[in-house]
């Protein structure tokens, strides 16, 4: 089945640091990838939709200069949390949709737990 790899799985860093998270589709081409944020005991909140070769579409309330998204290839999207602060601590999960399946299911990465001290 379709596999999405996300790295790193856990990050602990000081306030003010920028953190990059990678999301890769391993056995399929993902023209569209999604970035979610999940707080404890809450649902997944979509942050942005990443399309290969074009600018990401951000959800209302999500700062595009704070959360930089790059989708440079059909198998890789990156999320960079710039100048991270304690309130950015959360579980970040990416997902990818198989470009060959049109409106097919989304496959999730393992998530990245980000802790800002």
Partner 1 sequence: GENVEQHPSTLSVQEGDSAVIKCTYSDSASNYFPWYKQELGKRPQLIIDIRSNVGEKKDQRIAVTLNKTAKHFSLHITETQPEDSAVYFCAAKFGNEKLTFGTGTRLTIIP
Residue closer to partner 1 by CB (options 9, 83) is: 9
Residue closer to partner 1 by CB (options 16, 100) is: 100
Write the secondary structure of the chain as one string of H (helix), E (strand) and C (coil). CCCEEEECCEEEECCCCCEEEEEEECCCCCCEEEEEEECCCCCCEEEEEEECCCCCEECCCCCCCCEEEEEEECCEEEEEECCCCHHHCEEEEEEEECHHHCCCCEEECCCEEEEEC
- 46 forms part of the interface with partner 1 (CB under 8 A): yes
Residue closer to partner 1 by CB (options 32, 82) is: 32
Member of 93, 96, 115, 116 binding partner 1 (CB under 8 A): 93
- 5 forms part of the interface with partner 1 (CB under 8 A): no
Residue closer to partner 1 by CB (options 27, 83) is: 27
- 62 forms part of the interface with partner 1 (CB under 8 A): no
Interacting stretch for partner 1, rule CB under 8 A, among 39-47, 61-69, 72-80, 81-89?
A: 39-47
């Amino acid at each position: 089945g379709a596999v999405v790899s996300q790295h790193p799985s856990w990050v602990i860093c000081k306030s003010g640091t920028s953190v990059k998270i990678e999301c890769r589709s391993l056995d399929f081409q993902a023209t569209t990838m999604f970035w979610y944020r999940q707080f404890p005991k809450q649902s997944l909140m979509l942050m942005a939709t990443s399309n290969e070769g074009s600018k990401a579409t951000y959800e209302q309330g999500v700062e595009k200069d704070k959360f930089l998204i790059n989708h440079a290839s059909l198998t890789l999207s990156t999320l960079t949390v710039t100048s991270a602060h304690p309130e950015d601590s959360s579980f970040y999960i990416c997902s990818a949709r198989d470009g060959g399946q049109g409106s097919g299911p989304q496959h999730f990465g393992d998530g990245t737990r980000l802790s800002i001290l």
